[in-house]
Amino acid sequence: MTEGNFVDYVKLKVKSGNGGKGSVHLHREKFITKGGPDGGDGGRGGHVIVKADPNLWTLYSFKFSRHFTAGHGGHGSKSRSSGAQGIDAYINVPLGTIVRDTKTNEILFEIVEADQEVILLEGGLGGLGNWNFRSPTNQTPRYAQPGRPAKELDVTFELKVLADVGLVGFPNAGKSTLLASVSGAKPKIADYEFTTLKPNLGIVPYRDFQSFVMADIPGIIEGAADGRGLGHYFLRHIERNSVLLFLIPADSLDVKKTFNILMNELKIFNPELVDKDYIVALSKCDLLDEELKSEYAKEMAENFKGIPHCMISGVAQTGLEQLKDLIWKTLNTPNA
C-alpha cells in the first residue's frame, strides 16, 4: 500500500432525507359521494448509515467524495397509500474508524466490528395523512401533517489502523526495511529521517499458511506526545495494535535509554499503551562484527530480562524467522 493512497483523516458533510408530506384526500367513486378522508401518510426520509467494510484499509475512497445525501420520502396519496421511504445513504468505512462531530469534536461512535452498521443521521419522519385525523366530530378533516425536515451534520472520520503488530522506533530505525523484508509491502526506503510520512501495512506470511498484519508507523521523536515531529499525528494508530515491536538500531549510543524514551512518549500520549504486549528488536545488525554482536547480545539480555527480544537485520535477512516466531508466540499468548 503506497503512502499516497493512505488517507486516515477526512471531513465530510452528510444530510438525511426529508420526510414526505401526508395527503389530504377525500374518497370519491361511483355511488359513493361522501367516502370520507383516505389521505395516506408520507414516507420516511432516508437515513445516513455508516457501515463497516472489512475489505477497506484506508479512507482513500473519500478523497474526492465529501458529500453524502440520502433520498427524500415520497408524499402520501389517496386510498391510504403511504409514500415510499427515501433511499438510505450508506457510507462504507474500514474497521477502526472513529466518527466525530466536527464542530464539537465529540466522538459519536467507533466502527470496530465486521458487520457493524450505525445510523449517523435519521431521516425525517413522514407526515400523517388526513385519514389519521378523522373523528366523530370532524369526519372530513382537510389537513395533514408536513414531513419532518432533513438533518445536516459535519463529521470527521479518523482511522486508527487495526494491525496485529505495530512498529515503534525513532526515524531511520529500519522499520520500513523490516516491513519490506518480511512482507510484500513496498514502502519508501531511504537513508534519511522521516522517509515514512504515512503508515504502511503489510501481511507477513508465517508457517502453515498463517499470517499476521504489520504496520509501519512514521518515526517517533522525543517530545512527540507534545506535538513535536510527525509522531503526535500518528501515535493514535498504535492504540489499536495488539503487539508493539520496538526497533532500536544497532548504531544507537544507548539501547536502554532509547527504549525508555520511546516508552515514555507512549505513556504520555496514552498510559494504557505501556500495558500492551511488546517485543524489542535490535535492528541494523549487519553493521556489527561478531564480537560486537556478542557484546550486544549480553547487553540485550541484561537490559530486557523477561521481555521478548532478538537481533535482526532487514538488509542481510538475518534473525527474521526468530522475530516472526516471537511475534506469533506473543500474539497467541497475550499477557493476562
What CA–CA distance (Å, rounded) separates 322 from 312?
9
Give the torsion sign (CA, 120, 4, 183, 255). negative
Q: Which of 54-63, 134-143, 179-188 has the lowest mean pLDDT?
A: 179-188
The CATH code belonging to domain 165-332 is 3.40.50.300
> Residue 119 — pLDDT band, cuts 50, 70, 90?
very high
> Does the structure show a pLDDT above 70 at 226?
no
> Does the structure show a pLDDT above 60 at 232?
no
Instruction: Residue count of the chain, please give it.
Output: 336
Show me where the domains of the chain are located.
Answer: 1-159, 165-332
How does DSSP assign 126-170, residue by residue? PPPPGGGG-BTTBSS----PPPPPP-EEEEEEEE----SEEEE--
What CA–CA distance (Å, rounded) separates 279 from 330?
8
> Does the structure show a pLDDT above 70 at 184?
no
> Does the structure show a pLDDT above 60 at 194?
no
The single-letter DSSP state of residue 297 is H
57-94 tens-digit pLDDT: 778 888 888 999 999 999 999 888 999 999 999 999 98
**May I ask the CATH class of domain 1-159?**
mainly beta
What CA–CA distance (Å, rounded) separates 322 from 308?
11
**pTM for this one?**
0.68
Residue with cell string 537490559: 303
> Residue 156 — pLDDT band, cuts 50, 70, 90?
very high
Q: What is the mean pLDDT of residues 198-203?
A: 72
Mind spelling out the 3-state secondary structure of 256-278? HHHHHHHHHHHHHHCHHHHHCEE
CA 102 to chain centroid: 16
Q: In this structure, what C-alpha cell is assigned to residue 132?
A: 389519521
Q: What is the mean pLDDT of residues 5-21?
A: 86
